Amino acid sequence: MADYLTVSSLTKYLKLKFDRDPYLERVYLTGQVSNFRKRPNHQYFSLKDESAVIQATMWSGVFRKLGFELEEGMKINVIGRVQLYEPNGSYSIIIEKAEPDGIGALAVQFEQLKKKLAQAGYFASEHKQPLPQFVRKIGVITSPSGAVIRDIITTISRRFPGVEIVLYPTKVQGEGSAQEVALNIAAANQRSDLNLLIVGRGGGSIEDLWAFNEEQVVQAIFESQLPVISSVGHETDTTLADYVADRRAATPTAAAELATPVTKADILALIREAQQRSYQALNRLIRQQKERLGKLSQSVIFRQPGRLYDVHSQRLDRLTLALTNQMRNQLGETKQHHSLLMQRLVGLDLQGRLERLKERIHQQERLLRSTMANQYDSSLVRFEKAQEALLSLDTSRIVARGYAIVQKDGRPITSVDQVEKGDQLNLQMKDGNLEVEVKDVK
């Protein structure tokens, strides 16, 4: 008779085969991401091609180090191991490493972050600040030893001598470079004397330039209150810092030219032109004023100056007469009003009312004194009665009349029920205490 296996036994046997098969310990697989929904920790999805599908698991530690975002339908290359899950007999691939198929992970990460930031409005033209036409002090965030700072200093010194350059020495490549760039942008914005910022470095691969694709650098440029010119890499290189900056320059020299749109020679020429225009305008004004002065000197007013104030003298006389009449009328009205008020005051008999009020106050005062005296006498009688009642309760007086106070354990005895034979009692007399022992209780 044949031996029948249990489902568990078969599944364990198959799992043992999966775990020991050297071809399944490290599998290189290409497939399209399917049924992907981002979870807080571990990720569970499927990989498929035209004919088959396999379940895939990516632990949270691997997922955090991907460097790009998994998306539904993305084709990826993965390295992992095949594992059989005993409870339901299904098998899946445990992914240990993954990268996009055809292009590098950094390129995918670049496009994904670019799309995310564009949707958030970081690259919108309405957020771009205009560059100042004239600058006194420029901040430069770059490596102190590279060609970038030398080209910027040379160009600005040639175009506009006297402009001060403040260098923020910055690591522009490798671990920690993005954080250093962002911190220096924030530090530059703390100063009140800078007019402009240039952020840049030389060319290189996408890995070399990656610090300027980091979200923290893009955020720092976007939040900068100072206008920012980005000059990262060569003309063909483009980073996210270029998209978010207020202006992008292909080279450090171009960045310096954008920072000084007007040269010192342009300003001198402008000053000379303005000086010439001012000179000509002033000459025209002087000629016009001379002509006006000549016409005014021939005016009848200057030939007969008395006519200048004749009309004003007449007007002054009329105003003086009107003012005098108005003041006289107001004075008469005021006197009449005063007379009416005096008559009303006499009719009110204020002196009589005052005398009556004084008499009423004297009456109230006498009544108050009488009431207070009665209340005092009454209170004194009640006090004396209360004093006598308290004195009658004084134990010293009771004892003095021949009585004694019986106490047990410091407490007064008020009933024989509180005493037993053999108890020790204290008798308080008027001139001392007695310690007694109870022989019998009746």
Distances (CA, A) of 341 to 12, 275, 331, 345, 348: 122, 77, 15, 6, 11
pLDDT higher than threshold 90 for residue 314: no
User: Lowest-confidence range among 269-283, 297-311, 320-334?
Assistant: 297-311
Please tell me the total number of residues recorded for the chain in this structure.
Answer: 442
Say yes or no: 218 and 283 in one domain.
Answer: no
pLDDT at 224: 93
Say yes or no: 378 and 416 in one domain.
Answer: no
pLDDT at 180: 92
How high does pLDDT run on average in the chain?
85
- The band of 302, judged by pLDDT with boundaries at 50, 70 and 90, is low
Question: Across residues 127-138, what is the average pLDDT?
Answer: 89
Q: Do the domain assignments include residue 317?
A: no
Domain count, the chain: 5
Say yes or no: 286 and 407 in one domain.
Answer: no
CA distance 103 to 91: 29
CA distance 365 to 359: 10
Question: Across residues 250-274, what is the average pLDDT?
Answer: 82
Say yes or no: 129 and 239 in one domain.
Answer: yes
User: Lowest-confidence range among 46-60, 143-157, 339-353, 417-431?
Assistant: 339-353
User: Lowest-confidence range among 56-60, 97-101, 334-338?
Assistant: 97-101
**In the numeric block, which tokens belong to residue 194?**
């800078």
pLDDT at 307: 65
pLDDT at 14: 82
CA distance 349 to 352: 6
pLDDT, one tens digit per residue, over 19-38 is 777 778 888 888 888 888 88
pLDDT higher than threshold 80 for residue 59: yes
pLDDT higher than threshold 60 for residue 103: no
pLDDT at 306: 65
Question: Across residues 422-429, what is the average pLDDT?
Answer: 87
Residue 416 contacts by C-beta under 8 Å, 6 or more apart in sequence?
Answer: 441, 442
User: Lowest-confidence range among 303-312, 324-333, 380-389?
Assistant: 303-312
- Candidates 426, 431, 397; CA nearest to 413 is 426
- What pairing do the DSSP bridges indicate for beta strands 196-201 and 228-232? parallel
- The band of 87, judged by pLDDT with boundaries at 50, 70 and 90, is confident
Q: Do the domain assignments include residue 76?
A: yes
Give the 3-state secondary structure of residue 198: strand
Question: Across residues 43-65, what is the average pLDDT?
Answer: 88
Say yes or no: 83 and 186 in one domain.
Answer: no
Q: Do the domain assignments include residue 154?
A: yes
Give the 3-state secondary structure of residue 62: helix
User: How many other β-carbons are positioned within 10 Å of the β-carbon of residue 105?
Assistant: 14
Q: Do the domain assignments include residue 158?
A: yes
Give 3-state DSSP helix, strand, coil % of the chain, rounded to 5. 50, 20, 30
Say yes or no: 217 and 286 in one domain.
Answer: no
Which of 37, 67, 102 terminates a domain? The answer is 102
Say yes or no: 29 and 91 in one domain.
Answer: yes
Say yes or no: 254 and 130 in one domain.
Answer: yes
CA distance 37 to 15: 28
**In the numeric block, which tokens belong to residue 105?**
């992970």
Domain range holding 414?
Answer: 399-437
Q: Do the domain assignments include residue 135?
A: yes
pLDDT at 400: 72
Q: 108 or 276: which carries more pLDDT confidence?
A: 276
User: Which CATH number covers residue 143?
Assistant: 3.40.50.10550
Say yes or no: 143 and 127 in one domain.
Answer: yes
**In the numeric block, which tokens belong to residue 419?**
């005493």
Can you tell me which residue has the tokens 């016409």? 295
pTM beyond 0.75, yes or no: no
> Within the chain, how many helices (H) and strands (E) appear?
14, 14
Report yes or no: 220 and 229 within 8 Å, Cβ to Cβ.
no
Enumerate the β-bridge partners of residue 165.
Answer: 138
Q: Do the domain assignments include residue 112?
A: no
Question: Across residues 320-338, what is the average pLDDT?
Answer: 89
Report yes or no: 244 and 218 within 8 Å, Cβ to Cβ.
yes
Q: Do the domain assignments include residue 181?
A: yes
Say yes or no: 18 and 83 in one domain.
Answer: yes
Q: Do the domain assignments include residue 2?
A: no
pLDDT at 303: 66
pLDDT at 111: 77
Question: Across residues 152-168, what is the average pLDDT?
Answer: 89
pLDDT at 122: 87
Q: Which long-range contacts (CB under 8 A, 24 or more apart) does 31-37 make?
A: 31/56, 31/75, 31/76, 31/78, 32/73, 32/74, 32/75, 32/76, 33/70, 33/71, 33/72, 33/73, 33/74, 33/75, 33/76, 34/72, 34/73, 35/72, 36/70, 36/71, 36/72
- The band of 222, judged by pLDDT with boundaries at 50, 70 and 90, is very high
Say yes or no: 377 and 418 in one domain.
Answer: no
One-letter amino acid for residue 198 of the chain: I
Judged on CB neighbours under 10 Å (0-12, 13-18, 19+), 148 is buried
Say yes or no: 177 and 69 in one domain.
Answer: no
CA distance 297 to 291: 10
pLDDT, one tens digit per residue, over 173-188 is 888 899 999 999 999 9
What is the residue-wise DSSP string for 81-128? EEEEETTTTEEEEEEEEEEESSS-HHHHHHHHHHHHHHHTTTT-GGGP
pLDDT at 339: 85
User: Which CATH number covers residue 63?
Assistant: 2.40.50.140
